[in-house]
Structure 1
């Protein structure tokens, strides 16, 4: 693609759509040229506020009429499936909000389409674009860190699901897992690999019914790598905090609230190697990492403390655009997003079976 503006069409005009489209407007080289939604009032209000002239209520009409360079898919999972199929068949790159589907069957169908037409989609797991999480992963991959033995990810969230299920899920617990918990699930895969077995449970005030705070705890194990936990918890005092903890043979690195990075070298041994590991290009776009003299304890990369929730969306859009222009694979791709669906549904199946260990199939 030439260096002209990348023409992007947006599908879905709810609050999350407004957030994504505002990010597009802040990135040089990206241009929002059309919006689509079946709700004409939402469509007109958002299009007018963003200065977008082309408005559609039919997805295929928009795709075939304007033939955009890329598509933003921002809505419920049923919409994700519909648009992902249309974009894959037309080989139009698309960035899709998470999860790409709720069911394993739909994910398998999307994988087959990605194999047939090419995997031209990216799934919106924003924690992968947290500089702190990427920094922690870089550190943990150093030979000096040692073999990774344990990974834990936690998502603490104020519930906005109300007192009913979400997206048509059977229980609030399932809605919480699909709507919020998938961030912790996908982050575990990003940091620790693909678990082959999972055992999960739900606790909390009437957690199996449609009210009360919910806590989901899943124990996961890879084939020959780390084991660990995925914790998804409603909280009255937190909103979207995502934490991780990676333990190796010689060291440990933790991320708190997607911003604070703590590194600990067991026994206080020299940590010079960390300077090189952390100085690697965290986001792949030339960000410098500012290191303290003392690597033990807390340290922050340049600007980590000032990062906001919205910044992660901006980072993923930058990466998405770079993949289109360079021809490099999208990350996480459609097929990667489907793997997170498989692990998510294995967790739900284990809960339904009273914590019974479940084998996870990724195809």
Structure 2
């Protein structure tokens, strides 16, 4: 008879109990969430997920990978079944993620293409398109001692304490050039998407940056607790619209943006929120339509602009020059 494993995934303000007959599920989840014995949280109520390494039961809904699931909204119980250990673990991770999203949805969240790090009472949010250096900047700061709040799924929601930022505990894709910049401190990747690291090791340094291949890490694998829910009130917050400086040119001075909401708007994530292939729906939850989400997104951006300094900045892959430039500046927006 298989041993039953029971743990609690800590999502900050919410927790999810996972009960499974397959220890591989627990090992997999530990790469993404802080897990504690469920006996330490006997007083807690909330979602419980039963994860079973077995064929789906008759009548279960099926994912495209034929993972079966059944949900009881009233009792907040979910059962997930698959004969494939990997598919079972991945689906459970996504169901846990949905509990976090449900919490944020109730607080009218919006999501940005942005990384974020925190250093003492300072939060730096790096916004930009693909290839703008969001991961490189945040990863370098995190390896230097900052808290890694978000890689590319920055969530903003409001509470009585004010605007809060957090993120989805998803894998962190690190491009091969950035990997070699920090290889001595990164350790082994969580996944490598079939990349032959030794092939790239033999390449000249500058040649590696031209390849859009990635290694995958997790926040926990980098020694970072995630998700963190960080209240922005009372902190020095800098929002950086980032991009690489042309080769041979110096890092630019940060320049204050005249219309911060307008500048940030193109980076609001409608793609992830409304793509069912990304934002999976195993748990029934009420969500806003695109118009309501857009209205709330505009409000969250205005709230962010009100508590931060929004600047443009061209860099060479490290946050240090920006942090030095703002170190002596007072808190609050400019």
Instruction: Give the TM-score taking structure 1 as reference length.
Output: 0.29
Structure with higher helix content:
1
Structure with higher strand content:
2
Instruction: Give the TM-score taking structure 2 as reference length.
Output: 0.31
